[in-house]
Amino acid sequence: MFSMGKDNDKKPANVRTLTWGGLNWVDVVQPTKENNRYLTEQFNFHPLDLEDALSLRQLSKIEEYPQYLFVIFHLPVYDKKTRVSTRKQWSAFIGDNFIVTLRPKELTSVDDLFHECELAEDMRKEYMSQGSGYLLYRILDRALDAYFPTLDKILSQVDGIENVVFSEDVDAVHELSILRRDIIAQRRVMFPTRATLVEMEKKLKRFSKVDLTIFFSDLMDHMNKICETLDESSEIIEVFKDADYLQSSYRANLGIRVVVVMLSVLIPLLVVFGLGAFFLFFYGGTLKDNPLSFVVLAVVTLIITGITLLMLRRRHLV
């Protein structure tokens, strides 16, 4: 199944290999079609699996074969520019004496683990002495540990969004929309990944020298905590969205009340003085000739305005 012969000297630059205790780890960063040709020469993988490993639109899944497992995972990677996480796909082939990981460069946790094994004999012994199934568990565990800072960032943003919602100086709708979109993006990734881990535990046992039940139980505890936290954050954001809507409605109503009061004062003024000017012009004369006309018009205006404001007050509009 696995052969590291002279063709290994022609391996692509983005392919790294590590061997210890009869277990071979092949790590492919940013896989390409050239990598598929190389892996075809080294392994007897199904061609459709290699195509799926390159495709970026695959769902999380597990394909089981007599000699190996093929697994597709997804993990969210936070984009500082857009402030929204994007889905990154990585794949793994697991056999009796090998594990092949195909991943994007953003998945630095795998890179760190590979580098540690390259540098230290005791790390290679710890991670690679119990079979490929156990090594995959350690890779997954490291990937989830690396995700927790992103989760902590969400919790920090959720805690800080309350001040944004009740502040008149910040566009709360924009901030809520970005955070809500980020949480939705991460939930779309982590929930299918959790289901894949549940299915994978049973199928991975044949490639491990130790019982993985306890290890996967700990892994699932982490994953369940992640999913529960994302659910709670989503619910809190929905509450704050409703609160922001109420705040916006209140501010809008306040503005409408101001306009109503202004119109209550101006409209009677314009109507009374307009009619008064009309009758004066129609019957002849001016305000100088009729000095009491202005007083009468002012009194009538004040009476109408007072009645209007009283009616608005009784209806709790002012």
pLDDT (mean) for 95-116: 92
pTM of the model: 0.75
Can you list the domains of the chain with their CATH numbers?
Answer: 6-248 (3.30.460.20), 252-314 (no CATH)
- Of the chain, the end-to-end C-alpha distance in Å amounts to 83
Looking up tokens 């009468």 gives 296
3-state SS string for 71-114: EEEEEEEEECCCCEEEEEEEEEEEECCEEEEEECCCCHHHHHHH
Mean pLDDT over the full length of the chain: 82
Please give the residue that has the higher pLDDT: either 103 or 254. Answer: 103
The span from the CA of 255 to the CA of 219, in Å, is 54
Q: pLDDT by residue (tens digit) across 226-261?
A: 999 999 988 888 887 777 666 666 666 766 777 777
Amino acid at residue number 127: Y
With 90 as the cut, is the pLDDT of residue 23 above it? yes
